[in-house]
Structure 1
């Protein structure tokens, strides 16, 4: 199985992305998804997308990206987390199938 490279971004790359990193880490573990999680500032996403498979962000996406990009505010608000988790897992499986 190929390891996915997943960018986890927030505005400053510190606070909310740390919370989301743990949730995504647990989600991937529970679903047998092998991934490297890379915590970044959203401003770094464009320059790092070429070496990544997916972007998960807690902030507004300032642009379109060449990789699947998921807004993960639900992990912070508690609203729509089931749907968000399903979206992340399905996207990860789709990427794995293409590798």
Structure 2
């Protein structure tokens, strides 16, 4: 089971939108039983990074987190979503 942290600047607004999109996609792909989604702001992500397999972010992440982070902005914009989903699938292997 992969633990995924979805982060935004405040841990409330855009991360909520992304989590809902991810839940729909995971259900459609029949992957929802392989992932647990959690939500946080950037500061929480810095403190808890080691607890998660990877992160999906809608904000700029510090350099120390960049290796673990996938840019989630395309999920908000509605363009480039498939790229994000492919990156998620790759991280789940």
Question: Normalising by structure 2, what TM-score?
Answer: 0.86
CA 1:15–1:52 in 2, change beyond 3 Å: closer, same or farther?
same
CA 1:66–1:16 in 2, change beyond 3 Å: closer, same or farther?
closer
Q: What residue number does 1:14 align with?
A: 12
Q: What residue number does 1:81 align with?
A: 81
The structure carrying a bigger helix percent of its residues is 2
Q: What residue number does 1:97 align with?
A: none
How far has the Cα of 1:84 moved from its partner? 1.3
CA distance in 2, matches of 1:42, 1:29: 26
Please state whether the residue corresponding to 1:85 is helix, strand or coil. Answer: helix
| Structure 2 residues without counterparts, runs of 5 or longer | none
Are residue 45 (structure 1) and residue 45 (structure 2) matched? yes
| Structure 1 residues without counterparts, runs of 5 or longer | 95-99
**Aligned positions, number:** 91
User: Would you identify which runs of 4 or more consecutive aligned residues in structure 1 move more than 4 Å?
Assistant: none
Question: Normalising by structure 1, what TM-score?
Answer: 0.81
Cα root mean square deviation, aligned: 1.6
How far has the Cα of 1:36 moved from its partner? 1.2
CA distance in 1, matches of 2:8, 2:28: 24
Q: What residue number does 2:25 align with?
A: 27
Is 1:8–1:40's contact at 8 Å kept on the other side of the alignment?
A: yes
